[in-house]
Chains A and B, each alone.
Chain A
Amino acid sequence: MSIFIDNDTRLVVQGITGRDGSFHARQMMEYGTNVVAGVTPGKGGQTFEGPDGKQVPIFNAMDEAVSATQANTSVIYVPPAFAAGAVMEAADSGVDFVVAITEGIPVLDMSRAHAYARDKGVRVLGPNCPGLITPGQAKVGILPGQIVTPGPVGLVSRSGTLTYEAVYHLTNAGIGQTTCVGIGGDPLIGTKFVDCLEAFRDDPETKAIVMIGEIGGSDEQDAADYVKEHIDVPVVGFIAGQTAPPGRTMGHAGAIVSGAGGTAAEKMAYFESCGIAVAKRPVEIAQLVQEALQG
């Protein structure tokens, strides 16, 4: 089992002919992801050549791609100026899951795009995220496939390379993963920690959960509250940014909104108060998971 993506994922790549889109489309296909279509305006009718000579049809627009191929998931490698539009186009096309990899999308654009997708009942992951991977079944995004292995741990993280670090230690310790999800570091993200925790709760194969957070905001605290109320399997947490200096924040509004609770120390303490085992160093994540699974 897994969350969000699996062997039934039929993926369309928005921006498949771009530098990042074409590179990662090949990587995803090599991993075994079922890439059924690509979309690049103006290149409809052409084909994209994947590994082993596999041909992927390219369409001008998302609705054409989805009606021709029954795609159910899209991944976006579109440049920032057009990416929020791509999210909304995907939300209109009939896919139920949109993964936005693009970094640097204007926040106001995403404010509209998230509201639009929410109204359509479409799940958005990201933007500015590494995507997700269900080991042995599918990967959507840019996570390196070779460091994961199937197993009992669900992992959700705000970070990219720090996620790889944690997964790498898990895999080296012989502990596999159900699904690893990178939710992204932007101020406005579609799928939050809590959404992933809820999905892992409903996945019978997930026997432990790793949650990797960062300083800023209060999503980690919301997630910890959810763990306390609803999660029965052990949860291991890590917060990056214990030494980050307080920013030269301008004005009072930020401080008033976030109030206390944005620092690493506060988040770690909150995790512990909700029964989450907190790793002080990345290498401890795998150790704590191992203890939890044995205990």
Chain B
Amino acid sequence: MDLHEYQAKEIFRGAGMPVPLGEVATTPEEAEAIARKYDGMTVVKAQVHAGGRGKAGGVKLAKTPEEAREHASNILGMEIKGLTVQKVLVTPAEDIDTEAYCAVLMDRNAQMPMFMVSAEGGVDIEQVAEENPDAIRKLHVDPRYGLLPHQAYWLANTLYDDPGLIKQASKVMTQLYHAFMSANASLAEVNPLITTTSGEVKAIDAKFSVDDNALFRMPEIAAYRDTDAEPQAETEAREAGLTFIKLEGNVGCCVNGAGLAMATMDLVKYYGGEPANFLDIGGSSNPQKVIDALRIITSDPAVKVILFNIFGGITRTDDVANGIVEATKSIDIQVPIVIRLTGTNEEQALEILKNAGFEAYTSMDEVVEKAVELANQA
């Protein structure tokens, strides 16, 4: 789960990190009132789960509270990478001397948290990574020992020469590691980590992703979930225990297992169609899951055909077939449904489906070709 910048900063503050003040506004008037609390210039920042906010015009400097209101009215409602901005963070502007980059993430290969730091921070860090990878230093942390003092010092020492800054930054590294671990993060990123002209180290931006699997034991972080910031169908799917991602095509896909779901989408494309979604229905034959899946798929008006691809392993396919028949009785569906079922008891399953009036197949290639044909005719 991705957090907003203002939420990440709350976690950072809780870990003791030096983070500027700031409050969230949902209206231009609120933004002005917040800006009025701070002396001098402020920054108005779009709160969306997308990178490149600055380049999209979602981050603006304001000289006066009135200007902060004006910026907020432009940014609120703006679309950034397909997401509508519903909140802005208003925060005092800082006197920036240098910009560095630091992040902690879970490294799949080493299977432990890894720091990445660079003295060349700011908006072009990906370009730095590409053109001058040596400018990014990496350090693995064994979670059984935690970030050791000399490691924190090493990280800080790669960023700064001044002893005072190194001392401050060492502390920030330790605090960032604690924030990462205590929130079960998969990513905690500060870009930029600035030094001010008066010699202070501060984290002025934050990106933070949390491991969904750990939310059950962190109710205070689970409460950060912003369902307004994600497509409604994805919220519904998560609440129904399904994994759903909306795509741009017109072939609605309902598959058991993520790998087979991806392979099904690939095959739709192979036969000249475009998948409307990724949907993993999971392993059971529970009719309620099929009902939820059908409701979510058909809420997309672009869908012209629904394609089921179910491999019955332990689950018997005749049970799955009965589940589909029962589910489709309780929901009004305007588009054709084609079904492929393979595995245990597939003959009985096909019989059940054909008797209920469905087109049923055992070959994945045949059913996908048929689905694409129907979608293209519609």
Q: Which residues on A are within 8 Å of B, measured CB to CB?
A: 24, 27, 80-81, 104-112, 114-116, 142-144, 146-147, 157-165, 168, 185, 187-188, 212, 214-215, 217-219, 238, 240-245, 248-257, 259, 264, 280-283
Contacts and interface: CB of A to CB of B under 8 A. Distances in A.
Contact of B144 (A112, A143, A281): A112
A281 B184 contact: no
Contact of A107 (B125, B211, B256): B211
A23 to B, nearest CB: 8
Given A161-B259, A243-B265, A256-B125, A250 B51 contact: yes
B56 interface: no
A255 B112 CA distance: 18
Given A112-B144, A240-B266, A252 B259 contact: no
Interface in B199-241: 207-209, 211, 213-214, 216-217
A188 B269 CA distance: 30
Contacts of B365: 281, 283
B343 interface: yes
Interface of B: 2, 49-51, 81, 83, 101, 103, 105-109, 111-114, 116, 125-126, 129, 136, 142-144, 181, 184, 186-187, 189, 191, 207-209, 211, 213-214, 216-217, 245, 247, 255-260, 262-263, 265-270, 275, 278, 311-314, 342-344, 363-365
A143 B108 CA distance: 25
> Which of A108, A112, A254: most chain B Cβ within 10 A?
A108
Which has the most chain B C-beta neighbours within 10 Å: A24, A110, A212, A250? Answer: A250
Contacts of B105: 253-254, 257
Contacts of B144: 112, 115-116
A80 B213 contact: yes
Contact of B262 (A107, A142, A240, A280): A240
6 contacts: A107-B106, A110-B111, A115-B112, A243-B268, A250-B189, A256-B126
B50 A143 contact: no
Contact of A253 (B189, B213, B312): B189
A111 B257 contact: no
Contacts of A164: 311, 313, 343
Greatest chain A CB density within 10 A among B136, B258, B268, B275 is at B258
Contacts of A283: 363-365
Contacts of A187: 106, 108, 186
Given A81-B216, A188-B111, A161 B143 contact: no
Contacts of A157: 259
A188 B187 contact: no
A252 B126 contact: yes
A188 B110 CA distance: 9
A108 B211 contact: yes
Given A214-B262, A243-B268, A250-B187, 12 more contacts: A106-B217, A111-B113, A142-B314, A161-B257, A162-B263, A240-B266, A244-B265, A248-B2, A251-B51, A256-B136, A281-B365, A282-B267
B252 to A, nearest CB: 14
Given A108-B211, A256-B125, A143 B313 contact: yes
Given A158-B259, A159-B257, A252 B342 contact: no
B216 A253 contact: no
B26 to A, nearest CB: 21
A252 B364 contact: no
Nearest to B266: A242
Contacts of A185: 258-259
A250 B51 CA distance: 6
Give the top 7 A-B pairs by smallest Cβ distance, nearest first: A159-B259, A161-B257, A162-B259, A144-B313, A251-B207, A106-B214, A240-B262
B124 to A, nearest CB: 10
A188 B83 CA distance: 30
A105 B209 CA distance: 16
Contacts of A162: 257, 259-260, 262-263
